[in-house]
Amino acid sequence: MPSPKAKSSSPRSGSVPALSSNGRYEFLSLSRSPPPHLLQRQGSDPTSARLRASESPTRRRGSGSSNASSSSASGAPPLPEEDCMRLNPSVLGIALSSLLAVDLWLSKRLGVCACEDSAWGSVRPLMKLIEVSGHGIPWIAGAVYCLYKSDSAAGQEVMLNLLFALLLDVVLVGVVKAVVRRRRPSHNRMDMFATFSVDRYSFPSGHATRAAMCARFLLAHLVLAAPLRVLVLLWAVLVGLSRVMLGRHNVTDVAFGFGMGYCQYNLVQGLWLSPAGLHGLLGLLG
């Protein structure tokens, strides 16, 4: 039967047996240097023994993990999740970027009257005259004058709602421009007639919204002959085209302005004012 000492001296994990000078086996840990008498028996120096001990699987695994951690620490950090998402943009983002690029390119090509030395620089004075015809100040002044000079209730009602539509257009366009804050094209010259602080922004075109709304208003509430109706439509189109040719707006600014002005007329029709209703409203406010 084995003695308790034999049991207690059983080899532990991570140790190797070696023959000592007195003829007994001793178990040496791989993580420690062997005794000098064993080194002399094996005919090696302490340095080589330490190197052999350091080449154990445990040391190799530890050194591999430390090298991996150091390389990960010294190397480039992994891309964050948001950067990975940017590398795979959505279809909507690609479509909007492409639309913006086409809009800028087409607006640059159509800005043939942006300055005197442009391709159509000689037509610039005519385009500026069309620009003034779509400005808000002449239209508001004309609506006030016609309202004052009108001697019929029907005429006063029409002019009153036209004035209301023009003021509503100024407010809505100013709010949208202040929210979007899109800069005007780079080839634009800020020599416009009677500009305000919000006019440094480009989206949407106030001239386009006013032209579309006034064209619908005049065609719906004024009895005009067929040639005059064609001239009204042609004037609205020329106003929008002049904004791009002068370099004032991009194509999308004018297109959105036409759509916004078309919808503004529906809003004016829903909020139609009558002289009696206006007098009652003024009485309540007073």
207 is catalytic: yes
Calculate the alpha carbon distances from 37 to 11, 22, 43, 48, 52 in Å: 20, 11, 10, 15, 17
135 is catalytic: no
CA distance 78 to 80: 6
135, 187, 249, 279: which one is catalytic? 249
- 115-153 as b/e, with b when 16 or more CB fall inside 10 Å? eeebeeeeebeebbebbeebbbeebbeebeebbeeeeee
Can the peptide bond before residue 227 be classed as cis, meaning omega within 30 degrees of 0?
Answer: no
CA distance 109 to 243: 13
- H helices of 79-123, in order, are 81-87, 91-110
135, 207, 221, 279: which one is catalytic? 207
DSSP state of 1: -
CA distance 136 to 134: 7
- Its sign, for the CA torsion 84, 88, 93, 99, is positive
CA distance 241 to 245: 6
Which residues are the active-site residues? 207, 249
